[in-house]
Chains A and B, each alone.
Chain A
Amino acid sequence: MRPDPSSDIEARAIDWVIRQRDPAFSDWDGFADWLAEDPVHAKAYDAIASLDADLGAVPPASSPEVDWDEVPARRRVPRRAWLGGAVAAALVAAVSLSTFNLLGDANRIETVAGEHRTVTLPDGSKIEINGASVVTLEEDRPRFARLEQGEAMFHVMHRDDDPFVVEAGSAEIVDLGTAFNVVRRSAQTSIAVSEGVVAYNPRRENVRVVAGQELDAADGAAPKVRNIEPANVGGWRTGLLVYNGTPLTDVADDLRRTAGMDVRVAAEARDVSFRGALIIAQDRARTIADLAALSGTRATRQGSGWVLTR
């Protein structure tokens, strides 16, 4: 190893990383003080902590399990390409049984605001439907569902030769092995994927949306894809709504669907974007108070609902 003037700092960083691997480590103030001594310390620590995270890929037994035959000889490791493994979070949904034969038409499932319903299809696929939503099925197309309005979480039994198709507006969402949540607003579709992959409009834009991504598309506009936390996909099902820069009007829309709450957003607050988590509980006033506090707005009771103003 070449002599390195920063090796002393690196040694300290290594000590912190080693100590912090102990689940009982609690000297975070001491660690903060060390970071405060010199900005270089944080950089050295990041490098070592990141290295340590990468070491999670080291296999348990000291066996040379790397099969070189599988590595194409011509492939060179890019010098700068030290890539840590990505962490995938899987989402496990609670199972409930339901039927969908109200209102005569078995193939049209309509929920009122605040009502949640789960539909299990003959192939084992499951659709969890949020309130104020309409899902239609077609008898002669067992691998098809249409989200006319509202929001639903799809858990699809994947078949390579017979993909499951969800239609929302004019958009077609094709499952490639998946759990995903779809919101159909007045002229906009959002798809958030918690497991697997879906293809958005495979015969037009053909955008692949993978677990941990959300696609938003206004009707007629190009879709946008951004990264999200897969564990928060379909949070309406457990009463936990997590946002990261979402227009307040969409949040109000979600509260109406999910909990039957009547929340209006005053014109001057429509541009407010909201970051935070809302817990939907029996005390709805609490949820509104949280929303107002976290978005910097004021909530005023009006009739059976609330109005958010700036």
Chain B
Amino acid sequence: MGARTGSQRTAFLTKRSMTQARDRTDAAQGIEGVLLANRERILRFLALRGAGDAAEDLFQDLWVRLSARSTGPVADPLAYVMRAANNLMLDRYRSARQSELRDKAWGESAADQKPSAESALISREQLALVEQTIAATGERPARIFRRFRVDGVQQRDIAAEMGVSLSTVEADLRKVYAALAALRRQFDAP
């Protein structure tokens, strides 16, 4: 596929949607360029992330995903694309896993929608266990984890805010994640 040229490409429709379409086209062009220029690198990454023989197809999926998304300017387009590739693989993993779990839990085909009320109950119960596990790691790790994962504060800001070193923040985060991973293993244990 050749590179798109010109910024004069416009859509039909109303003036308003014309503007939207043009913005989206320009953003899509930039991302497409990054995708094409880094094709081998992305394919390798997808393969390493578990795509196997499907890497080519998933590259196409990634392309579809990124073209469909309306993006503003991206500071580091390659990192943006790599993150999207990583998310794509994670989404695949999660949806495959969900159907697997659903099959085991309900003994029905994955196509059957489970009632949403039911899944909400499950997550509420598990949430309580998650909260207990976080609390059990100690007051400071629990607080650091919450600031990091729930409030989305960067590690160095948490360190400044709590008057501890960056490596303390790192260590506490590792501790909480490890405890949660252990909790999760209990659900996953055969």
Enumerate chain B residues within 8 angstroms of A42, measured Cβ to Cβ: 48-50
Enumerate chain A residues within 8 angstroms of B184, measured Cβ to Cβ: 47, 51, 82
- Supposing A1-B178, A26-B76, A81-B122 touch, asked if A244 and B16 sit within 8 A by C-beta, the answer is no
Question: Which chain B residues (27-68) contact chain A, with CB distance < 8 Å?
Answer: 28, 41, 44-45, 48-50, 57, 60-61, 63-65, 67-68
**Count: A-B pairs, CB below 8 Å:** 218
**In the complex the two chains form, what is the Cα distance from A14 to B94 in whole Å?**
17
Chain B 122-141 per-residue mask, 1 if CB under 8 angstroms from chain A, else 0: 11111110110011000000
Q: Are A277 and B64 in contact (CB under 8 A)?
A: yes
**In the complex the two chains form, what is the Cα distance from A18 to B135 in whole Å?**
19
Q: Are B16 and A81 in contact (CB under 8 A)?
A: no
Q: Are A289 and B48 in contact (CB under 8 A)?
A: no
Enumerate chain B residues within 8 angstroms of A304, measured Cβ to Cβ: none
For the complex, count residues of B whose C-beta is within 8 A of A: 84
Identify the closest chain A residue to B130 (Cβ). Answer: A58
- Supposing A283-B9, A286-B4 touch, asked if A28 and B45 sit within 8 A by C-beta, the answer is yes
**In the complex the two chains form, what is the Cα distance from A70 to B98 in whole Å?**
25
Q: Are B90 and A10 in contact (CB under 8 A)?
A: no
Query: Shortest distance in angstroms between A292's beta carbon and chain B's nearest beta carbon?
Result: 9
Q: 6 tightest A-B contacts by CB?
A: A281-B9, A28-B82, A293-B1, A35-B48, A239-B11, A277-B67
15 A-B pairs within 8 Å (CB atoms) are namely: A18-B170, A18-B177, A22-B155, A25-B83, A52-B149, A66-B128, A80-B188, A81-B105, A94-B20, A96-B16, A242-B68, A277-B67, A279-B24, A281-B21, A282-B9
> What residues of chain B have their CB less than 8 Å away from a CB belonging to chain A?
1-2, 4, 6, 8-14, 16-17, 20-21, 24-25, 28, 41, 44-45, 48-50, 57, 60-61, 63-65, 67-69, 76, 78-79, 82-83, 86, 89-90, 93-94, 97-98, 101, 104-105, 111, 113, 119, 121-128, 130-131, 134-135, 142, 146, 148-151, 154-155, 170, 173-174, 177-182, 184, 187-189
Please name 9 further chain A to chain B contacts, defined as beta carbons within 8 Å, in addition to the given A18-B174, A62-B142, sorted by A numbering.
Answer: A20-B83, A46-B93, A50-B94, A51-B177, A77-B126, A94-B14, A94-B17, A96-B14, A276-B64
